Structure 1
Amino acid sequence: MAKQKKKAKSRETGRKEPPQKPPETQKEVKKVLKKKTPEERRKAQIEGIKKTLVPSILGIISGILCYYILGTGTDMMLGGVRVEWHFILLNLILITTIVQRFIYPLIGIDVLAFKGKDWFYVEFIVVDLWAVTWTILLN
């Protein structure tokens, strides 16, 4: 109601409100989204498939290795020394990260462009499929 009265009042007096300009900082903050060409989209999709397939294979292989080396996981002995599950998990993450750093350049993925989020993504896939594969083999 109050806004309508103000508008009606400004119409009656003939005053016009000055046009509002967007602040300069707002223009700078807005990012200009570049449209990707079909080739760029296809390349990004293929790269995404590679980034998903490699850790998936590594996770499955590591699950199979854990089943054959450590067995059921109740008495985990490695070289006569009892090991805990978190030791195995941390070593798995370390080893698969190093392996992926060497594999990705061979298949055309720039490892230097990886950020923390990307490494978290691929290692999550490895750990997830490791646990799923080992669990399936245990049953």
Structure 2
Amino acid sequence: MATEQVSEQRSSHVRGVTVTAVATLAGIAAALVSAAFLGTAAKDQLGLAIVAGFVFAQLPVLQVMGIDVEDFSTKDHLYVLFMTFSMWFVTWTILLTNGVTF
């Protein structure tokens, strides 16, 4: 009985770490794609479309990694959206501030 609880806790922890890692890496990738396609034109709204595409692209990636996205609640979807957007925003801001071009 105790080992079942430990196993469930570990599984829940691994799920959380996986979802967080995929969301943050997707945000960084979205920022790099935004910088590559838009350069330093920060006024272009296409950047939001790029990050939205990366948010939606995560769900199949998570399924391939063994995460049951059918179990996601609204809170889980909002978490993925927030983490991806936050990392995109911070990374793209750093790239724009430093004038990085690809």
**What's the TM-score bracket when you normalise by the shorter of the two chains?**
0.7 to 0.9
The reply to whether residue 42 of structure 1 matches residue 7 of structure 2 is: no
- The Cα RMSD (Å) is 1.7
In the other structure, the counterpart of 1:72 is 40
Structure with bigger gyration radius? 1
Residue identity (%): 33
In the other structure, the counterpart of 2:47 is 88
Aligned residue pairs: how many?
94
The reply to whether residue 137 of structure 1 matches residue 87 of structure 2 is: no
In the other structure, the counterpart of 2:61 is 103
TM-score (norm 1): 0.62
> Residues of 2 paired with 1:134 and 1:89: CA distance?
11
Larger fraction in helix: 2
Unmatched 5+ stretches in structure 2: none
> Residues of 2 paired with 1:48 and 1:117: CA distance?
13
**What is the CA distance between 1:104 and its match in structure 2?**
1.0
Runs of 4 or more consecutive aligned structure 1 residues displaced over 4 Å after TM superposition: none
The one-character-per-residue Cα deviations of 1:46-91 (angstroms, maximum 9, x if unpaired) are: 1100010001110000101111110112464xxxxxxxx3x53255
Counterpart code for 1:57: L
Are residues 113 and 73 of structure 1, via their aligned partners in 2, closer, same or farther at CA, if it must alter by over 3 Å?
A: same
Counterpart code for 2:26: L
> Residues of 2 paired with 1:62 and 1:91: CA distance?
6
In the other structure, the counterpart of 1:54 is 22
More RCO (CA 8 Å, sep 6+): 2
In the other structure, the counterpart of 2:84 is 126
